[in-house]
Amino acid sequence: MRNFILFIFLSFFIACNPNATIEENDTFTLSGTIKNVEKVDSIRVRGFNFDEKIAFQDSVFSSELDLNTGFYQVFVGDNRFRMYFDKDAGANMTINADAKDFKNSLSFDGNSKAANSYLQDKAKGVDTLYANVMENLKVGETEFLDRIKTKEEKTLAFLNSSPVAEVFKQSETKNIQYKTVYDINTYIQYHAKYSDEKDYVASDAIKTFINNVNWDSGDDLNTSPNYRSALSDNFSNFIYKDYKEGETDVHARFFEYIGGKQNQDIKNYVVKEFFNYVMSIGDERNDDTYAKLVEISSDDEFKKKMAKKYSKMQSLAAGQNSPTFTNYENHSGGTTSLGDLKGKYVYIDVWATWCGPCKREIPHLKEVEAKYHDKDIEFVSISIDRKKDHETWTNMVKDEELKGVQLFADNDWNSQFVKDYLINGIPRFILLDKEGKIIRADAPRPSNEQLTEIIDGLEL
């Protein structure tokens, strides 16, 4: 099932020689003061193959980190920003900000000060050139390419006018160019959907931008977040081209795609993408594919994580007891636990108000609910919106006249039920029997006619 996969839209911010290796860097100190932050006890620093939390107390943080030169993303509560680190540019970096006006108060000192100042100025100014994504998807191909070319030229001009180190300028130049590739790939994929040109077929001219990229570059994989975003999109598009649920063999397509790669870092990356975001629970091909993934990957650390997750996937097979949730807020009043629904089949929709693909399933879900409204099956929708979006959820349930049991999860993506089902993309649908045992941990969407075929086969 093609979920609203986080690696396609959220990886933009997180983004060789075949035998290339990355040098280890001596630890350096990242510290600072961020005022007026509430209910935050840690700061998260994420980069390629790096993810650590720093203790945050009384507005202050300080920690020694082992980083390689490159781009990172820093999360402070609901605020996030990009950071660049150069292992040859000093042993300390200081970050200061005020959460009341985070973007305008954010400042850097020490390691890569000029580069990080550029990134923040770019975020406040030049990056707004990329704001009207939906509008750009609607225009004709020629106009779109003109817009993209203008954006790239203005961004590069801004970079070249900034007093940054040459090593950063070279890396950021590639990053800007790969943003163009990413945007073009997105246009090819979605123009027909969001424009009046429903029969749109990409021209050879626009496809040249994609075909001319080296999708087997370990160097660019390790240094450019936007290359990683574009690579993920390229892989996803290959896997899901002309996708038909129940017919398209995504496993075979994965092996075809990775068979054309030589660089081991690229292979490791694609293995992660397939295992984390494509390989679905309960697929009869999983055992054979999993064994081959272990052979292909040379990333021992990931293989340990993969083994642990695969074991969990097996525990979600048909016939196993479902993970549970307890006392989720019910839009109709009170709370509801999964145990309250025993005695009926249960079809669960895990969704969020901000999720476009989730909302596109709503009309289909209403049709399915109407068809089985007098049958022994309960339709349950669980929102994993953040608490700050609670009012948006309550209003949408009312305004859209959503039926069934409408619940609000206790901790958005971090809800235990979401974690237990290994949900990393939405919408996600789950079908349980009357005893609370799993029928399908990754059930068909309401828009897929296979769902009604499965439900018709139940003893309702």
Tokens standing for residue 264: 């081991």
Closest CA to 250 of 238, 239, 236: 239
Question: How many other CB atoms are found less than 10 A from the CB of residue 87?
Answer: 18
pLDDT tens, residue order, the chain (460 aa): 444 333 333 333 333 333 333 334 457 899 999 999 988 999 999 999 999 999 999 999 999 999 889 999 999 998 999 999 998 888 899 999 999 999 899 999 999 999 999 999 998 876 555 557 788 899 999 999 999 999 999 999 999 999 999 999 999 999 999 999 999 999 998 899 889 999 999 999 999 999 999 999 999 999 999 999 999 999 999 998 888 777 789 999 999 999 999 999 999 999 999 999 888 888 889 999 999 999 999 999 999 999 999 999 999 999 999 999 999 999 999 999 999 999 999 999 999 999 989 999 999 999 999 999 999 999 999 999 999 999 999 999 999 999 999 999 999 999 999 999 999 899 999 999 999 999 999 999 999 999 999 999 998 8
CA distances from 24 to 87, 113, 329, 426 (A): 9, 22, 48, 37
- List, in order of start, the domains of the chain with CATH numbers: 1-240 (no CATH), 243-314 (no CATH), 328-456 (3.40.30.10)
Rounded to an integer, what distance in angstroms lies between the CA atom of residue 1 and that of residue 282? 12
Report the run of H or E that residue 377 belongs to, with start and end.
Answer: strand 377-383
> Could you tell me if 385 and 412 are in contact, meaning their C-beta atoms sit under 8 angstroms apart?
yes
- Give the chain's end-to-end CA distance (angstroms, integer): 25
pTM above 0.85, yes or no: no
> Quick one: which of 189, 234, 243 has its CA closest to 210?
234
With residue 28 as reference, give the H or E element that holds it.
strand 28-35
The whole-angstrom separation of Cα 143 and Cα 132 is 14
